[in-house]
Amino acid sequence: MAKEAYTGPLEQIDEWCWRIPKSYKPGMRVDGLIYASEALIDAIRRDQAPEQVANVAYLPGIQTASLAMPDIHWGYGFTIGGVCATDPAEGGVISPGGVGYDINCGVRLVRSNLFYQDVKPHLSPLVEELFREVPTGVGKTGKYRFSHKELRTLMGEGPRALIPRGLAVESDIEFTEARGCLDGAEPENVSERALERGTSQCGTLGSGNHFLEVQLVEAIFDAEAARTMGLEKDMVCVLIHSGSRGLGYQVCDDALKTLRGVPEKYGIHLPDRQLACAPVESPEGRHYLGAMRAAANFAWCNRQLLMWQAREVFETIFGPTWQELQMNLVYDVAHNIAKFEEHDVDDRKRKVWVHRKGATRAFPPNHPEIPERYRKIGQPVMIPGDMGRASWVLVGQPGSMSKTFGTTCHGAGRQLSRTAAVNLSKGRRIDRELANRGVIARARSWRGLAEEQPDAYKDVDLVVEVVDRAGLSKKVARMRPIGVIKG
């Protein structure tokens, strides 16, 4: 995380939004808009992330504004929490930095018919079994092996390809964003190196901020929406946060190498080489999009297999089948992705490429891409917080379409670098501190817990308050972690 404070203009528009005027830099094509509250804006000013918001405004074809969510913090090229839409009809570009290295990192929420009183006596063995059976950590391989040919099938079809293997059911597909498959994936665009990295990593959690949590529904804020999702107070759920692992990282790395010098080739002038991009309709742009979509489909397969393993562990600990435990997928959303979507821009409908990097799609009620079950309440949105406090379930609202290209925040957002978090943890036992909060946590190393300690993150309640009050997404339920496994 950059240490320098942002010193440019930041004008408050209303209680929940701040503007960087396009007059700030001569190359900015649009304003920058940051959704935040008074409680969050000082921390945002202390980071260089607003400068990245201004830099993104240079991208050709960008529409309306360069946007950032309240969980904004410094990232590669784009800020994490950044959103921008580009119109290919106006020379719009695609930028790997606007998707991120972990393509289709995202979260999925699984409910159950178990309540806290049912799980509390078994919580410790449940967490231990999850930690034993679900592969976690850097480079950790899993029990599922796929040949390069099979990987290409997964990248082309998404988790639907797992149904014949008995590792997915139709409802899992129905309640996954985009039904778990982006059209236009081109697995042949994915390098052999990326395939090699993905061969044994589908169904693995990884490290860093990725996790599998056993959570408790602590409070309900929208009874109708919660009932529609099958959520009740004191119900036990599972939240899974992971992405495309080494395969997706390699796809991004390959693309960034390919795109060196490409902006200059097309006469594009950028303030930061990390914003490397290509016109959407160029050969380089189309090649990246085909590979990115393939990696996104792989990520949905990864989360599907992580969920399947969690279901098997619950069967082991509690006895009934996962179907009898009603461990049904509530929803799965991506938060590192670019998608071609129709939006109202300047009072007319346009098809634009929406980059969401550390930002979650949040379509409102009656949007045709929402599963029929949720059409009336809006798209479910899961916002993970930190290990010691809370996560949230929201639903998309109309304001997201008029303000942020159908987008809301994706998490709490880091406020300490990993190095700073580790330094803060010296002489402490984070696992014991979490246990004192009623959370059993298991990780591969002391450092893993230290990097991800609650103090490393903003208060997710403050972040969610902004998107709720700004009309981007609405509170449905607050979830409290009771068991955590991490890499």
Does residue 68 fall inside a structural domain? yes
d(CA 96, CA 293): 12
**Is pLDDT of 1 > 50?**
no
Per-residue pLDDT tens over the stretch 439-471 = 999 998 889 899 999 999 999 999 999 999 999
Does residue 314 fall inside a structural domain? yes
**Is pLDDT of 138 > 90?**
no
User: 378 near 408, Cβ under 8 Å?
Assistant: no
Does residue 1 fall inside a structural domain? no
Parent domain of 260 = 11-93+103-486
Domain count of the fold of the chain:
1
Does residue 5 fall inside a structural domain? no
Chain-centroid distance, C-alpha 61: 25
> Which are the contacts of 368, defined by CB distance < 8 A and separation ≥ 6?
none
Known catalytic residue: 335? no
d(CA 388, CA 458): 12
User: 324: helix, coil or strand?
Assistant: coil
Does residue 383 fall inside a structural domain? yes
pLDDT at 485: 97
Q: Which residues of 47-83 are buried (b: 16+ CB within 10 A; e: fewer)?
A: bbbbbbbbbbbbbbbbbbbbbbbbbbbbbbbbbbbbb
Q: Residue 300 gets which letter from DSSP? A: H
Q: Domain containing 228 — which CATH number?
A: 3.90.1860.10
- Sign, CA dihedral 284-33-461-464, equals negative
Does residue 341 fall inside a structural domain? yes
pLDDT at 284: 98
**Is pLDDT of 96 > 80?**
yes
Does residue 98 fall inside a structural domain? no
Beta bridge partners of 216: 236, 480
- Cβ neighbours, 10 Å, residue 435: 12
**Is pLDDT of 2 > 80?**
no
> Which are the contacts of 427, defined by CB distance < 8 A and separation ≥ 6?
none
pLDDT class of 3 with cuts at 50, 70, 90: low
pLDDT at 139: 73
Q: Residue 425 gets which letter from DSSP? A: H
pLDDT at 142: 85
Residue among 210, 241, 367, 410 flagged as catalytic: 410
d(CA 130, CA 137): 13
Does residue 165 fall inside a structural domain? yes
